[in-house]
Amino acid sequence: MPTRSDSANDAGRISCGPVASPRPSERGMGAQNRGVKSENVRASNMSTVLRNILTLPGEVTRAGLSQRTGMTRATISRLVDDLVGAGLVRELEPGDGGGRGRPANRLTPAEGSAVALGVEVDVASLDVMLVDIAGRELGHRRIERDFADSAPEETMALAAQEAHTLLEGTLPDGALFLGTGVGLPGLVSPTRLALAPNLGWRDIPHDQLLAALADLNPVVVANEADLAAYAVAYTRPGVAGGPSTFVYVSGEVGVGAGVIVDHRPMSGARAWSGEIGHMCADPNGPLCRCGARGCLEAYLGVRALAEHVGAPAGSGARAILRCAGLVDEAGVKTSGSLGVGAEQERARAVLTEAGAALGRVLSGVINAMDIPHVVLGGAVAELSGALLDPAREEIETRTLQAPWSSPIVEVLPDSASLTVRGAAFRVLDALVDDPAAFLG
């Protein structure tokens, strides 16, 4: 895949593995730190300027940047000139400020100037999205298919085919293509996919798994829930506009979580944190695909729920709710009280127990980690009308802090593409963290 320059492509390469990467403040702090060089100061300052422009696109001026950052106007002017010259930032004509003096040009990221791909392979779908430095979605392709027990090479080849098709139709002329981020539903280590139980994939080195994507520069590979959580915390590349500390819980066939603390992913020692779907809700509960009994996923995974409520195989959240008489054929919420038969009562009891299982597991997470903010996405969010009351009842009963600070459970109305957005954002972060590396 051609980029604006080969040197820019090399500068943007980061290792596959945990979703977290060093921020500018962490550079040069290793054992061989020999002081701050002028080029490092310039790189850090340029990152600060670009991040502020991304935070206030079309609003901030050079004078405003000087006030926000404490840098001199001369320093700001040189850095902005460099970013404008590189095509990453553009200046807008001044608006009518209504004040004294000559109005100043406003600064905004140059849309389409730098782009990245996000790819997600899940059990029931494959998503590909192209995102630019301003956080805009430039194109999106989605295939809904059963990928359980699929051949990894064939599935990743399909992902590469979809990515190339998307790029051919949406890549802006002259854009700097930074690479690809990949989200997978399982244990993703820095060197390999250790396990994706619902896909049936196990112990695959990254160079083998990502071979079909090699020409698309796969520079980030991580757990899909971690990447989705990142897209909740970061509303645009480099812009921490979402909640600062929370647990993001999402589910389709599997159930996973991403943990964010102070806008930083908490991925664990091997990037395996967040496997909430395999925390025990009841040791005597139903058998999970992983081989254990009573996992949250065995209660809350869409396939498990569909089986328990008597929905046809392959049913999604809407069909499950329909079995419980909670939505009609069009997916519109019903009153839920008239004409409830035995089958609908049984389906509602299944959903109530799934909500209670979610609450029991979340209570353990909140008690252990002191993160009282939970965000629900995916099918868990779609089913939330039936899950929230029993889940909250368990949380209020089981979390020690509840009498003083009641945990918050929030539902995202639209989370379908968060993983691919988060994957692309993580690739674009390399540019935001060190734009100087991509200039010239």
Q: Rounded to an integer, what distance in angstroms lies between the CA atom of residue 359 and that of residue 377? A: 15
- pLDDT-derived band at 102, boundaries 50, 70, 90: low
Give the number of residues written for the chain: 440
pLDDT at residue 16, as a whole number: 37
The predicted-structure confidence for 352-382, as pLDDT tens digits, reads as follows: 999 999 999 999 999 999 999 999 999 999 9
Q: Which residue has the higher pLDDT, 16 or 314?
A: 314
- pLDDT-derived band at 394, boundaries 50, 70, 90: very high
The helix/strand/coil state of 306 is helix
Residue 330 has a CB neighbour count (10 Å cut-off) of: 7
Q: Across residues 284-294, what is the average pLDDT?
A: 91
pLDDT at residue 183, as a whole number: 97
The predicted-structure confidence for 197-219, as pLDDT tens digits, reads as follows: 889 999 999 999 999 999 999 99
pLDDT at 25 over 60: no
Q: Rounded to an integer, what distance in angstroms lies between the CA atom of residue 293 and that of residue 287? A: 4
pLDDT at residue 428, as a whole number: 98
pLDDT at residue 327, as a whole number: 80
CA 101 to chain centre: 44
pLDDT at residue 17, as a whole number: 36
pLDDT at 132 over 70: yes
Q: What is the mean pLDDT of the chain?
A: 88
pLDDT at residue 330, as a whole number: 64
pLDDT at 3 over 80: no
Strand partners, 92: 106
Q: Rounded to an integer, what distance in angstroms lies between the CA atom of residue 394 and that of residue 400? A: 12
Of 414, 401, 348, 403, whose CA–CA distance to 375 is shortest?
414
Q: Across residues 134-144, what is the average pLDDT?
A: 96
Pairing of strands 201-205, 137-144: unpaired
For the chain, give the percent of residues with pLDDT over 90. 75
Pairing of strands 373-377, 246-251: parallel
Q: Across residues 242-260, what is the average pLDDT?
A: 93
**Residue 371: CB partners within 8 Å, gap ≥ 6?**
245, 246, 247, 259, 261, 365
- pLDDT-derived band at 22, boundaries 50, 70, 90: very low
pLDDT at 269 over 70: yes
- For residues 188-215, b (16+ Cβ closer than 10 Å) or e, as one string? bbeebbbbbbbbebeebebeebbebbee
Residue 257 has a CB neighbour count (10 Å cut-off) of: 27
pLDDT at residue 339, as a whole number: 59
pLDDT at residue 173, as a whole number: 94
Of 167, 161, 156, 157, whose CA–CA distance to 121 is shortest?
156
